[in-house]
Structure 1
Amino acid sequence: MAAIGGRGEWLASQRRPTCANGTAAGPAAKGGSAAELNERLAAIDVAEDARHIHGRATSIGFDFEAEREKLRPLPADDYDCGIDLTPTVARNSRITVRQCYYSVPAKFIGTKVRVKLRANEL
């Protein structure tokens, strides 16, 4: 175990948030500007459109174009993909959300607080 202020503490502070099963909590871009990221995503889309699924005679892009007119438009309202939770603040001024601890102000000790859990934020 590293001493306080040692390398182990620094490494712990550099870790990405993780889910309870240990997987990363969200995707991370490999750096660069938004334009570069959009270019990489566009290249991935082109490659995916040309890809064939085993056992199918047509490509993914061809199948999508055939089904495009059958798709309904996206809803006008934004869909909230987070989960509402109401953990109780413990006497040490912390809440537990999915086996992770989070500090909250001491004035909330003993009360329930409402939190929204999303893929990469609480």
Structure 2
Amino acid sequence: MRIFIPPAWRTRVDRYRLKATRCKDCGRTGYPPSEVCRFCGSKNIETVELIDETAKLITWTIIYSAMDGFEERRPVVIGILETQEHKARIMAPLTDVLPEELQPGMEMEPVLRRISEEGESGLINYGIAYRPVLKKVE
């Protein structure tokens, strides 16, 4: 897969900050961001950042097949999560956890992970994934 620098550069803030839109009329939050509320159709929206919010794991699937060039990443675990504060639903890869350790309701946090790179001197593409919240040692 070839990633071109100009589009990647233009979308970096939205992709890495995990932005969503919250409707000022119905109060619901939609991800990815949209110019119109996907729940009530209002254009009275504001941008919110979800990057500092933990999320609860709702469900997940395990993908055992992979595109050319991504075979070493198998199996790929994709989860549907709901953020704690804004209640936004997000579909994202899960990382740093074995599939058999996953449980509904598990608390997860967003992290930046490398997705791909174009050769030895090409563009490195990053994206948001979720991992279990690390427990603080006291």
Pairwise TM-score range, normalised by the shorter structure: under 0.3
* Richer in helix (by share): 1
**TM-score normalised by length of structure 2:** 0.17
Richer in strand (by share): 2
